[in-house]
A and B are shown apart, each in its own frame.
Chain A
Amino acid sequence: MKAGIVVFPGINRERDMAIALERSAGHKPRMVWHRETDLTGLDLIVIPGGFSYGDYLRCGAMAAQSPIMAAIRAHAARGGHVLGVCNGFQILIESGLLPGALLRNQNLRFLAMDCHLRVERTDTDFTRHYQNGEVFRAPMAHGDGNYFADPDTLDLLEGEGRVVFRYATPSGEITAQANRNGSARNIAGIASANLRVLGLMPHPEDLVDPLMGGEDGKPLFDSITAALAA
């Protein structure tokens, strides 16, 4: 798997992401500056977390207009894989690669804590190494992670099985209390119709080593590495 991590000004989680990808793939990903326009040779494009352009206007709005995004759109249109985490998820949504919007957290607080995610499907290239219905722990750190879409879009996402992760209790129940940011239907992560573009708010890349306190996020990176091994 050849992975590239897109770096925008104000992004700060790209090195965490690089560690997670290297641990699973065995080699370093390429760092791609946002002014580049050539993604030739890359199988997976990752947009990491952080605060691109200082979250000006709306989180992800400025990054969605940057030169690299045309190349990422073309990569996705070719059926290429894209992963967006946290600000990366916001950027994928602002660029129209995933539907909906991410609003300010319901309680208005920046949430920096662990959450639990229930894996809603394990037949995607990003989740095959999880068990069906498995719950895993993931750190989250965001102010605008409250997933919103109109009811028709939510029904479409559910109908097409594109909700990949939901906020849950450690035992896997979908409750309002587990849904700290107030996301519609506890949605934490969604995929494109072809399941190759995935966005989620929490940070699986920050739990990939016992030294980090756990390896809950590692199956995601093992999954995509195996899917793109060639």
Chain B
Amino acid sequence: MKAIVTVMLKTGVLDPQGKAIGQALVGLGFSGVGEVRAGKVLEIELAETDPVAARAQAEEMARKLLANMVIESFRVEVA
């Protein structure tokens, strides 16, 4: 299976990168651009074939390494 882990900064944690990207979009002439948040997406191939077990495994990976739980949150999709 493949797990897709999306890691984002928690709400309330300053995201200067997202802010700069937002400013660049405005600079390019895009109108109506609100807050921009930047994050990471990780695609992980897993030998596991059971979706529930695959999700549990990916969530453990996210907690242990992929996300820094002090500042980031994550969500997992399995396919």
Closest to A60 in B: B68
Contact A149 B16 (CB under 8 A): no
B52 at the interface (CB under 8 A from A): no
Name the residue of chain A whose CB is nearest to the CB of B19: A108
Q: Once the chains bind, are B13 and A94 in contact (CB under 8 Å)?
A: no
Q: Contact between B70 and A101 (Cβ–Cβ < 8 Å)?
A: yes
B8 part of interface (Cβ distance < 8 Å): no
A176 to chain B, nearest CB (A): 14
| A31 contacts partner chain B, Cβ-Cβ < 8 Å | no
Number of A-B contacts (CB under 8 A): 33
* A residues in contact with B70, CB < 8 Å: 99-101, 148-150
> How many positions in chain B have a CB within 8 Å of any CB in the partner chain?
10
Determine if B16 and A106 form an interchain contact, defined as CB atoms under 8 angstroms apart. Answer: yes
* A42 close to B (CB within 8 Å): no
- CB contacts (< 8 Å) of A203 on chain B: these are none
Q: Interface size of A by Cβ–Cβ distance < 8 Å?
A: 19
Residues of chain B with a CB closer than 8 A to A100's CB: 70
Can you offer 20 A-B residue contacts whose CB atoms are under 8 A?
A57-B65, A57-B66, A58-B68, A61-B65, A61-B68, A65-B65, A99-B70, A100-B70, A101-B68, A104-B16, A104-B17, A107-B16, A108-B20, A148-B13, A148-B14, A148-B70, A148-B71, A149-B70, A150-B70, A182-B14
Chain A interface (Cβ within 8 Å of chain B)? 57-58, 61, 65, 94, 99-101, 103-108, 146, 148-150, 182
Interface residues of B (CB under 8 A from A): 13-14, 16-17, 20, 65-66, 68, 70-71
